[in-house]
Structure 1
């Protein structure tokens, strides 16, 4: 049998599946920049050629510099591009079976990474910590909710849903003095907690906001993707949900589910009369015909 690495063209489909599986394992374990994700996507789209390409080949094909390809290899834990390529080539020799679902296309494989993230989130919710944090947030009047840049949509989603039961939810998505002023006013109005969403890439302004919140006397509950880091050290409680970096931009399926679970737990921690406001809204919406019939 000829050496597939000597052909200079492509490897067999089974070997390509093993190369793709090994590359997915590498990429899923590391956070990559947008340009590095383009490199990974380029290689995943052509695993039958990946073991033959040089860093120059990849740089020209992707439209980036050759040093960027080297930094890609560094980001995956290798000393350089040759070691990275050798690691892929080893998949041709070890005869291991491709990873689960070898027939999945690239988009299906990316969705699979989100399914694994949801499974990790599910397992992390085995204790009562989320319910305890939710009860503290429910008791804070008002409840400031902070989310900047990419985290702003989650903050608004939480605020929109929570406001159907909580009497005073204040979403803050503007950094700087506006953030500081609104946190200070919330503390002066009686707030005891603030909820912050801090997902990658982490805004420097959010860290400053968390520091200010604690100076103002607020306790901080942080939803993020790692329990340690520059944001977590300024929070009293950290709730984590992994973020997928397989797509061109981060996918936040698990943080979105954590957001929904937190709203759910907070609503049921509210007094019964406040929970009833949800039913009142539904009755009002039906009378006004706000929504199309399902």
Structure 2
């Protein structure tokens, strides 16, 4: 097989080599594409039967695509899921199994994360900058919204249509930068963490285990698992951690935080902004 396809996803490999495949292997390839989301839930013999080809033909197709056998295909698909691509690798999960997995992730985070250290930094910061891109942005925004109720200077970035460099201008040793970087992070995340550290500010990093390199560089690392029983990542543990941090900051800042929260609630009432 041409080395060009090595490292490509299985569907990309099929596209690269489709025109050169014999008719029977092409037929099997069509079936693989049709069953791609659930491919790892089948056995090789079942796939051959679905395609209407022999097991030998299916084996030849796997080799044509650069895989030694179907076990290697399964490993490939699990690797895609680990990298954050939505894909089922173990069959359709039950909702009860999903709920159990979510509960375990939340317990793990709340019991293992250095929450007191993060609360101390956030409560004592002069300014807080929370940053997140793509699927990390909702977590960053939620953290900002919670902290803004009880802290006078909390911002989130990047704002729509804006870059992030200007957000770091003026950040210094009395401040805290929270970098939220779950998997499928933008390529510039590492550079941002480095730049945030260079400001002298404390840097709190939210990340899943694939962000271990960034967690290791953080002043306070907050590791949150995101992979559960379903095909798509879950941020239940991260959102629960946000609530725990905000609650801790409220307690730590005491009367000042409570008065700010009350003042904001009164403004809501006067402006009729919320029900």
* TM-score of the superposed pair, with normalisation by structure 1: 0.62
Equivalences for residues 159-170 of structure 1 within 5 A? 159-170=144-155
Q: Which residue of 2 aligns with 1:81?
A: none
Q: Which residue of 2 aligns with 1:186?
A: 171
Q: Which residue of 2 aligns with 1:42?
A: 38
Q: Which residue of 1 aligns with 2:21?
A: none
- Residue 137 of structure 1 contacts residue 195 of structure 1 at CA under 8 Å; is this kept in 2? no
Secondary structure, aligned partner of 2:239: helix
User: How many residues in Structure 1 have an aligned counterpart in Structure 2?
Assistant: 220
Q: Which residue of 2 aligns with 1:11?
A: none
Q: What is the CA–CA distance in structure 1 between the aligned matches of 2:94 and 2:39, rounded to whole Å?
A: 11
Q: What is the CA–CA distance in structure 2 between the aligned matches of 1:198 and 1:262, rounded to whole Å?
A: 17
Equivalences for residues 1-294 of structure 1 within 5 A? 42=38, 50=43, 52-54=45-47, 66=62, 67=65, 70-74=72-76, 76=78, 106-124=94-112, 129-173=114-158, 178-187=163-172, 191-226=174-209, 229-292=212-275
After superposing on structure 2, the runs of 4+ consecutive aligned residues of structure 1 that deviate more than 6 Å are: none
- Residue 121 of structure 1 contacts residue 241 of structure 1 at CA under 8 Å; is this kept in 2? yes
Deviation, 1:158, is: 0.7
Secondary structure, aligned partner of 2:191: helix
- Residue 101 of structure 2 contacts residue 228 of structure 2 at CA under 8 Å; is this kept in 1? no
Q: For the structure 1 residues 281 and 257, does the alpha-carbon distance in structure 2 shift closer, same or farther, using more than 3 Å as the test?
A: same
Q: What is the CA–CA distance in structure 2 between the aligned matches of 1:105 and 1:148, rounded to whole Å?
A: 29
Deviation, 1:247, is: 2.9
Deviation, 1:115, is: 2.2
- Residue 227 of structure 1 contacts residue 239 of structure 1 at CA under 8 Å; is this kept in 2? no
Q: What is the CA–CA distance in structure 2 between the aligned matches of 1:34 and 1:252, rounded to whole Å?
A: 28
Q: Indicate the RMSD between aligned Cα atoms, in angstroms.
A: 3.7
Q: What is the CA–CA distance in structure 1 between the aligned matches of 2:236 and 2:169, rounded to whole Å?
A: 32
Q: For the structure 1 residues 39 and 233, does the alpha-carbon distance in structure 2 shift closer, same or farther, using more than 3 Å as the test?
A: farther
Q: For the structure 1 residues 122 and 235, does the alpha-carbon distance in structure 2 shift closer, same or farther, using more than 3 Å as the test?
A: closer
